[in-house]
Structure formats: structure tokens, C-alpha cells
Amino acid sequence: MAMPRPKLHHLAALSLPVLAVAGYTVWSRRSPVGNPLVPEPLKPVDLNAYLGRWYEVARYEQAFEKGCEGVSAEYRLRPDGKIDVVNSCRAPDGKFRTARGTAKIVPGSQGAKLKISFYGPLYIGNYWVMDHAEDYSWSIVGDPTGRYLWLLSRQQVPEEMERHSLIKRATALGYDTSRLVITTQP
């Protein structure tokens, strides 16, 4: 006697926990802590001013970004109030990679904290705008674990003085900036 085939909606229900575990496994791989005492973000963030293209100046190296050059991120507001996130880079093999996600503002954070998902409905990533220029020409992004850090600029190749100032500002926030990888931009 043949086994009955599971209905499609049963398979979908089974796949969500599998995706959740797989997503958590990827997310939870631990990199070293670069800031054991992460402060709260310093300023509110005006989402409309923050949206648009950002270029990575430097980062804590992570497996998902290892060896990437020409790194940028684009943030666009969606009609539902969430934010489309498109991260792009040129991988060491020369191929262009893109990761698409969605972010939502954490209530009560004055726009400085977002939850981000690259895994469908699982908003497991934390994106904290630790500090930013008044004119939103630069931004320092981290998370509450102190394992992630990105220094961002609106300029693809910022002046050396701006890069140095960003690193100095990250140091003042308690980050171990000796771990930073300077991003090569074309």
C-alpha cells in the first residue's frame, strides 16, 4: 500500500521551522566581540534623511561579506512603512553579489534601531545607527552584541580625513577599531 502524499500546505508548514532553524544557524555564528559595552544609539534618526545609497568605508569582517569590495547598501521606503534593503558587493571571485532584505523600525527607538530580515518573515538581525552626521553624510552602524560594525559614507571614496574621523568616532564609542577591514571601492 502506498503512503499518502502530504498536501502542499502541510509541506509549507514543515518548511517554516526548517527555514527558521537554518536562518538562526547562519545568523548565530559568532564572530569576536569588538565592543563589550555597546552604548545606546546617540541620536534619533530621520528615516527620510537616512534613506538612499550608502558606501561602506570599513567593517568588522563577517562570513557573509568576507573579501567583498565595492560594498554599498541602498535603503528605500515601502508603501507599508517597512524599508527595502539591497546590499551589494564584488566578491573575491569577481562576481557581483546582492542580498535583499526588509527592515522595520523598532518602536520607541526614535528611528535609530531597526530589525532586519534576509530570511522572509524572520526579523532576527539588529541594525543600530550608533551615530551619524547631522547632514547624514556618514553613519556608524552596529548591533547590541558588539560583534558587528560598519562605517558608512554617502561618498563612494571619502576623503582620508573623513575615514580617519569615522574610525576615531567608532573608537570613542568603545569599538576595537584594530579589527576594522578598510573597504576597497572602485
pLDDT tens per residue across span 36-72: 999 999 999 999 999 999 999 999 998 888 889 999 9
pLDDT in tens, 71-116: 999 999 999 999 999 999 999 888 999 999 999 999 999 999 999 9
How many CB atoms sit inside 10 A of residue 25's CB?
9
User: Which bin fits 41, alpha (ψ -120 to 50), beta or left (φ > 0)?
Assistant: beta
**Could you give the maximum distance between any two Cα atoms of the chain, in Å?**
75
Confidence of residue 30 (pLDDT cuts 50, 70, 90): confident
177 neighbors 170 (Cβ within 8 angstroms): yes
Indicate the burial class of 152 (C-beta count within 10 angstroms; 0-12, 13-18, 19 or more). buried
Q: Where are the domains of the chain?
A: 47-181
> Which tops the pLDDT comparison, 21 or 135?
135
pLDDT in tens, 116-162: 998 888 888 899 999 999 999 999 999 999 999 999 999 999 999 99
For residues 165-172, average pLDDT: 97
pLDDT at 173: 97
- The CATH classification of domain 47-181, taken from the options 3.40.47.10, 2.40.128.20, 3.30.420.10, 3.30.450.20: 2.40.128.20
Q: Which three cell numbers stand for residue 17?
A: 521551522
> In degrees, to the nearest 5, what angle opens at C-alpha 115 toward C-alphas 110 and 117?
150
Residue 1 pLDDT greater than 80, yes or no? no
- 18 three-class SS: helix
69 neighbors 81 (Cβ within 8 angstroms): no
Residue 24 pLDDT greater than 80, yes or no? no
Q: Where are the beta strands (DSSP E) in the chain?
A: 52-60, 69-77, 83-90, 96-105, 113-117, 125-132, 138-142, 149-153, 180-182
> Which tops the pLDDT comparison, 33 or 124?
33
What are the φ and ψ backbone dihedral angles of 77, each rounded to 5 degrees?
-75, 135
Residue 25 pLDDT greater than 80, yes or no? no
For residues 19-37, average pLDDT: 60
| Partners of residue 116 on adjacent β-strands | 103, 125
> In degrees, to the nearest 5, what angle opens at C-alpha 75 toward C-alphas 70 and 78?
150
54 neighbors 154 (Cβ within 8 angstroms): yes
